[in-house]
Amino acid sequence: MACASCSTKDGQPKGCKNNGTCGTDSCNKLTVFDWLANMSLPNGEKPFNWVEVRYKNGRKEYYKNTGNLTLSIGDIVATQAKAGHDIGMITLTGELVRIQMKRKNISDNEEEALKVYRKASQKDIDIWSSARDKEEPMKVKARQFAIDLNLEMKISDIEFQGDASKATFYYTAEERVDFRELIKVFAREFRTRIEMKQVGFRQEASRLGGIGSCGRELCCSTWLTDFRSVSTSAARYQQLSLNPQKLAGQCGKLKCCLNYELDTYLDALKSFPKTETKLQTEKGTAVCQKTDIFKGHMWYAYEGEWNHWHKITTVQANEIIDLNKKNKKITSLEEYASELVEDTKTEFENVVGQDSLTRFDSPKPRNKRKNNRRRNNKNNKSNKNKRKPQNSKNAAK
């Protein structure tokens, strides 16, 4: 999704001309589309006077518009903070803010409500942008200070308040960290109020963003807001190899996308017998070797004949198990497997009108040297034959 200023035209992307502050907010993290924007309210209904404001790396807060300011998506505003004010961008207005607040269990109590002061002036924006420029070099120094104090922590991000009066340091750590000495070093070096916030590894990945192994942006930094627990059983149900390097995301934890299709696999597995159940036949006992969940096929091999697999359907496997429960045995699995013999011959059609796959291959160059040698040899032989009679005449004289 892109706005008109950065969309692709004539095969070439224009690039964002607004640096992430366009009115559609479609270039930013955790963007929300206001699908109620063009709908008018019923008669007598007042518009909801709360707004959603986004700060650095997708952090969002909700404020009350007490001054009845005319605010729209993309406006930069000065908002109330515990001390001073902050600068953020409007990402949502109207009735959708009420729905978002209800979903996140945020009360619209008058006493606890933070306010929107005003639309940000050019002076506010200049102070805000100059503070943002300091964050990256500060992060490098802060990490070095933590290393010098031998603290087992990683400072992942720094966020300045809009009026540059406070800096919040986000860090991750495996255990509890005593950073009292570190705060003193920060205050002495950076000359500002310091706040430390510990975040989880998934929250760190969502704040920083990145590209996943699928080639798309991380789900947690674009649309995913609730982090559900992911276990290795989700990978087992989907028949994925339990390789921690492939199953782990950039946060080091199991990928959230392992839960996306889990319900579909669980529904499909309801018709499958347990893989531990053995099939009793007159020829021998068969053990399950492999399953194809969506095609409904299972492969069995006789004990002692592990290299020869027999493919049957789940319906057939359940029938054999029911017969075994009645102390009955089938003759062999070959009777059922013969019904699933498929013609593996594949016929390809020329759907694009391209007959040969090697039509663009350059023809092999002819060996000119061999041809030239043959010609030279022929010329030399003919010249020798012409010279022989002349030599014989001279000898006679």
pLDDT band for 395, please (50, 70, 90 cuts). very low
The answer to whether 161 touches 86, Cβ cutoff 8 Å, is yes
Percent of the chain at pLDDT exceeding 90: 39
| Nearest-10 crossing angle of helices 180-190, 122-148 | 130
**Is residue 141 over pLDDT 90?**
yes
Report the 3 state secondary structure along 243-310: CHHHHECCCCCECHHHHCCHHHHHHHHHHCCCCCCCEEECCCEEEEEEEECCCCEEEEEECCCCCCEE
Q: Is the pLDDT of residue 38 over 50?
A: yes
- Looking at residue 222, its pLDDT comes to 86
Query: For residue 8, what is the DSSP state?
Result: E
pLDDT of residue 40: 82
Given the structure tokens 């013969």, which residue do they identify?
338
The pLDDT of residue 155: 93
Residue linked to tokens 């022989």: 388
Beta strand residue intervals within 45-98, DSSP E = 50-54, 60-64, 76-80, 85-93
Lowest mean pLDDT among 58-72, 203-217, 293-307, 381-395: 381-395
Q: Which long-range contacts (CB under 8 A, 24 or more apart) does 292-298 make?
A: 293/239, 293/265, 293/268, 293/269, 294/268, 296/271, 296/272, 297/340, 298/272, 298/273
Distance separating alpha carbons of residues 188 and 194, to the nearest angstrom? 10
Question: How confident is the model over 88-129, as pLDDT tens digits?
Answer: 999 988 888 988 888 888 887 767 788 999 999 999 999 999
What would the mean pLDDT of 71-81 be, rounded to a whole number? 90
> pLDDT: is 397 or 322 the higher one?
322
Residue 67 pLDDT greater than 70, yes or no: yes
Sign of the torsion formed by the C-alpha atoms of 68, 74, 80 and 85 = negative
Q: What is the pLDDT of residue 1?
A: 44
What is the pLDDT, as a whole number, of residue 382? 65
Q: Which residue has the higher pLDDT, 249 or 360?
A: 249
What's the pLDDT at 336? Answer: 80
In this predicted structure, what is the pLDDT of residue 4? 57
Structural contact between residues 250 and 257, judged by C-beta atoms closer than 8 angstroms:
no
Residues 146 and 158: beta-carbon distance below 8 Å: no
pLDDT of residue 340: 55
**Residue range 350-363: mean pLDDT, rounded:** 60
pLDDT > 70? residue 343 = no
200 contact partners, CB below 8 Å, separation of at least 6: 172, 227
pLDDT, averaged across the chain: 82
Q: 27 or 135, which is more confident?
A: 135
Does 397 have pLDDT greater than 50? no
* Segment 167-179 mean pLDDT: 91
Strand partners, 198: 171
pLDDT computed for residue 104 by the predictor: 86
Q: Is the pLDDT of residue 301 over 80?
A: yes
The pLDDT assigned to 144 comes to 94
